Amino acid sequence: MDNGIRAIVFDLDGVICHTDRYHYLAWKALADRLGIPFDEKVNQRLRGVSRRESLEIVLGERSTAYSEAEKQALAEEKNEIYKTYLAAMTPDDLSSETRATLQTLRQRGYLLAIGSSSKNTRQILERLGLGNFFDAVADGTRITRSKPDPEVFLLAASLLGVRAEEAVVVEDAASGVQAAVTGGFRVVGLCSGGNDPGADITIRRLSDLTAIFGGDAL
């Protein structure tokens, strides 16, 4: 493979699919019930972090008013709301561009994996028709430290049987890019704006990967 790259590890939300709006609506419903202000600006701070860490951000100064048990219940309440939105997802929610890109990379012989902090990863993949597509799935149910810790990407590499230097991570969030760099991976940043300073390469569309892998850009 190009420059020793054997595998590609994808973040899920924001890369393979886009459930950001569902997360926002679920957190907004919880915040509204608790009487806590929550808007798109606060929501931006939740990108790439775990559910538990997101809850702390949402609660803000009111965090100390809740016990650990109450916080766990609140996190589960948010997740149940979120899952009602996920239940409506279908394979049509996977863009034709993404599907074609994944199939092309598979045909070119790359090992493909998911590296996501989400505990709902497998449900989302099933809803999208990708339940059995990836060679490995490392998700929030199998790790103890979320991004920017590299644990989820290192687990994905281990499941694939490759070293970090033999894999590339595709990420859209700064915490994910940082996690990949810390883990020793090369990184492709998926960014609709300017270049991601932490990534080796920045692309605007997922389909740009087909021009990179098979060429000598990395």
pLDDT of 48-69, one tens digit each? Answer: 677 889 999 999 999 999 999 9
Confidence of residue 100 (pLDDT cuts 50, 70, 90): very high
Gap between the Cα atoms of 146 and 48, Å rounded: 9
Range of 33's domain? Answer: 20-86
| Average pLDDT, integer, range 125-146 | 96
Residue 193 has what pLDDT? 57
Tell which residue, 140, 130, 74, 66, has the closest CA to residue 101. Answer: 130
217 located within any domain: no
150 located within any domain: yes
Reported residue count of the chain is: 218
Average pLDDT of the chain is 92
Whether 116 and 32 share a structural domain: no
Whether 121 and 110 share a structural domain: yes
Whether 119 and 155 share a structural domain: yes
Confidence of residue 216 (pLDDT cuts 50, 70, 90): very low
Whether 8 and 31 share a structural domain: no
pLDDT of 152-197, one tens digit each? Answer: 999 999 999 999 999 999 999 888 999 999 999 999 999 855 566 7
Whether 175 and 106 share a structural domain: yes
Point out the catalytic residue in the list 13, 139, 172, 200: 13
Has 13 been annotated as catalytic? yes
> Using a CB cutoff of 8 Å and minimum separation of 24, what contacts does 133-140 make?
133/102, 133/106, 135/7, 135/111, 135/159, 135/160, 136/111, 136/160, 137/113, 138/9, 138/113, 138/114, 139/12, 139/114, 140/50, 140/51, 140/116
Tally the domains of the chain. 2
Task: Dig out the tokens for 158 from the structure.
Answer: 């281990």
Whether 111 and 163 share a structural domain: yes
* DSSP letter, residue 3: G
Residue 47 has what pLDDT? 77
Residue 198 has what pLDDT? 86
Q: Which of 28, 56, 86 represents a domain boundary (last residue)?
A: 86
> Could you tell me where the DSSP H helices lie in 60-141?
68-86, 96-107, 121-128
Task: Dig out the tokens for 141 from the structure.
Answer: 């149910």
Q: Which of 41, 68, 86 represents a domain boundary (last residue)?
A: 86
Point out the catalytic residue in the list 11, 149, 196, 200: 11
Whether 99 and 124 share a structural domain: yes
Gap between the Cα atoms of 47 and 43, Å rounded: 7
- Is pLDDT of 145 > 60? yes
218 located within any domain: no
187 located within any domain: yes
Q: Which of 62, 86, 110 represents a domain boundary (last residue)?
A: 86
Confidence of residue 1 (pLDDT cuts 50, 70, 90): very low
29 located within any domain: yes
Whether 50 and 102 share a structural domain: no
Whether 204 and 107 share a structural domain: yes
Half-sphere exposure of 156 (CA within 13 A, CB side): 35
Note whether 149 and 137 are within 8 A (CB).
no
- Is pLDDT of 217 > 50? no
Gap between the Cα atoms of 178 and 185, Å rounded: 10
CATH number of the domain at 123, please. 3.40.50.1000
Confidence of residue 2 (pLDDT cuts 50, 70, 90): low
Tell which residue, 148, 144, 146, 138, has the closest CA to residue 198. Answer: 148
Whether 177 and 98 share a structural domain: yes
Whether 200 and 151 share a structural domain: yes
Residue 93 has what pLDDT? 94
Whether 68 and 143 share a structural domain: no
